[in-house]
A and B are shown apart, each in its own frame.
Chain A
Amino acid sequence: MTALERYAAPRALGEALELLREGDVTIVAGGTDVMPQSHSGKVKFGRTLLNVRRIPELAGIEREGDTARIGALTTVTALLESALVRERLPMLAAAADHFASEQVRNGATVGGNICNASPAGDLLVPLIVLDATVELAAKPNGAVETRSMPLQEFLAGPGRTRRAAHELLTAVRVPLPPRGFVARFYKYGTRPALDISAISIGVGAVRRDGRLENVRVVFGAVAPTPIRGTATERALEARPPDAATIEAAAQAAHDEVRPISDVRASAWYRQELVRNMTRRLLEDVARG
């Protein structure tokens, strides 16, 4: 039984926001999450099914000064094909490259991957390492208003975000990293792609005079949302990535994650993976 009473595919942001203000709306873009979730019962359709895929304001990747603005409708394939992403945000390109299959990458959108808020969402880990912010639009009093929020704060729990019901996620903004920035992304599944991560790890830092500064470490699939590895970061900050530092950081990573056991991996196995793969990523950073 569906409660659907209206389907809309507006071609202007304002029109979509007016529909959202009326309430009880299910938003769809590529459909790659909404469709199976509607079959499993995880998503129950609201009164209105709002297809945002034809809204031009949500499309495209643009450089705005020292920031990349990635429209919510950007497909994972478009991320991979973007010269700006490949050259300046290679960690995001690496995550996109490990994302599902070509058929899914052609449909799945950046905005959808964010709003689905999976603890294992493939793009979320690199985006948080890169200090991304989400842009939300609403039209409460006849005019379009936008606000921004760090992505990490936006993610509230499995499948939950801090998007208000009348808001639409329009874009994600990613600061272009400074010179000397090094980053690595790692995803573990039983096969290279098309598998939900058992764990994923993102590390980013600025290398200055042989030391790592502004270190950001993010773990995916070990908590209700991707989480910052603050103890791991402290173990690395302002230190050269030598063997002793890497070992201490890998142990800190093992000790600070609190994964659950599920069908993909046991908690024990996830912690071992986090330690060993954090070590491997950092050894790779140390090699240059």
Chain B
Amino acid sequence: MSLAVEIEFRLNGVVRRATVPADMSALVMLRDVLGLTGTKYGCGEGECGACTVLIDGASINSCLMFAVDCDGREMTTIEGLAGDARAERLQRAFAEHGAVQCGFCTPGMVIQATRILAEHPHPDRATIQRGLEGNLCRCTGYKKIIDAVAAAAEQA
């Protein structure tokens, strides 16, 4: 039985309390303790970006972060982007451009794409590619994902 720690943080705008093992990742907490399964477990070592969340507004691999370190911070997951205008433009553009195949990388892609568009409202393709460097997709070959992010930027 590993050491349990009580934490409190803001998750998608709502204050949440959780009791988590000290060695648990934020990703496992989201999926197994809090039941938010939109954030995906891909590689577990920060290579694939499927677990990307926003911590205090910055994108982070939740698989590399200790759940206990969420204490006192603000986390946004893909579920928390419902209703966000930028995320909804991305969602539509991903669908229209066929940027979703198996869909496993999509939540992380969309979260990271919201950060790209927040920092570069009119990104060129190189900027989009650079921004998605930490997100792997094994289906699309990336072209359609980059097309979708570019299209979402144009619609803004």
Contacts A101-B133, A194-B134 known; A32 to B61 CB distance under 8 Å? yes
A36 in contact (CB, < 8 A): yes
Provide the residues of chain B in CB contact with A104, threshold 8 Å.
46, 61, 64, 134
Flag if B64 contacts A2 (CB, 8 Å): no
Closest Cβ–Cβ distance, residue A45 to chain B (whole Å): 6
Flag if B64 contacts A36 (CB, 8 Å): yes
Contacts A5-B3, A101-B133, A103-B46 known; A51 to B63 CB distance under 8 Å? no
Closest Cβ–Cβ distance, residue A265 to chain B (whole Å): 19
Flag if A107 contacts B23 (CB, 8 Å): no
B131 in contact (CB, < 8 A): yes
Closest Cβ–Cβ distance, residue B51 to chain A (whole Å): 9
Contacts A49-B22, A102-B59 known; A107 to B2 CB distance under 8 Å? no
Contacts A36-B64, A100-B46, A101-B49 known; A51 to B69 CB distance under 8 Å? yes
A227–B151 Cα gap in the complex (Å)? Answer: 47
Flag if A103 contacts B60 (CB, 8 Å): yes
**Residue total for B at the interface (Cβ-Cβ under 8 A):** 31
A260 in contact (CB, < 8 A): no
Provide the residues of chain B in CB contact with A4, threshold 8 Å.
2-3, 22-23
Flag if A9 contacts B68 (CB, 8 Å): yes
Flag if B134 contacts A28 (CB, 8 Å): no
Provide the residues of chain B in CB contact with A28, threshold 8 Å.
66, 69
B44 in contact (CB, < 8 A): yes
Chain A: number of interface residues, binned into ranges: 20 to 34
Q: Which of A27-41 contact B (CB under 8 A)?
A: 28, 30-32, 34-36, 38-39
B115 in contact (CB, < 8 A): yes
Provide the residues of chain A in CB contact with B60, threshold 8 Å.
103, 106-107
A87–B75 Cα gap in the complex (Å)? Answer: 33
B96 in contact (CB, < 8 A): no
A7 in contact (CB, < 8 A): yes
Flag if A39 contacts B61 (CB, 8 Å): no
B124 in contact (CB, < 8 A): no
A77 in contact (CB, < 8 A): yes
Provide the residues of chain A in CB contact with B59, threshold 8 Å.
102-103, 106
Sample of 30 A–B contacts (CB below 8 Å): A2-B2, A4-B3, A7-B5, A7-B68, A9-B71, A31-B66, A34-B66, A35-B64, A35-B66, A36-B44, A36-B64, A45-B23, A49-B3, A100-B46, A101-B49, A101-B134, A101-B135, A102-B112, A102-B115, A102-B133, A102-B134, A103-B49, A103-B52, A103-B60, A104-B46, A106-B58, A107-B60, A107-B64, A192-B133, A194-B134
Interface residues of A (CB under 8 A from B): 2, 4-7, 9, 28, 30-32, 34-36, 38-39, 45, 49, 51, 53, 77, 100-104, 106-107, 192-194
With A35-B66, A103-B134 known, 20 other A-B pairs at CB within 8 A are A2-B22, A5-B3, A7-B3, A7-B22, A7-B68, A30-B64, A30-B65, A31-B64, A31-B65, A32-B46, A34-B66, A35-B63, A36-B64, A49-B68, A101-B133, A102-B112, A102-B134, A104-B134, A106-B59, A192-B133
Interface residues of B (CB under 8 A from A): 2-3, 5, 21-23, 25, 44-47, 49, 52, 55, 58-61, 63-66, 68-69, 71, 112, 115, 131, 133-135
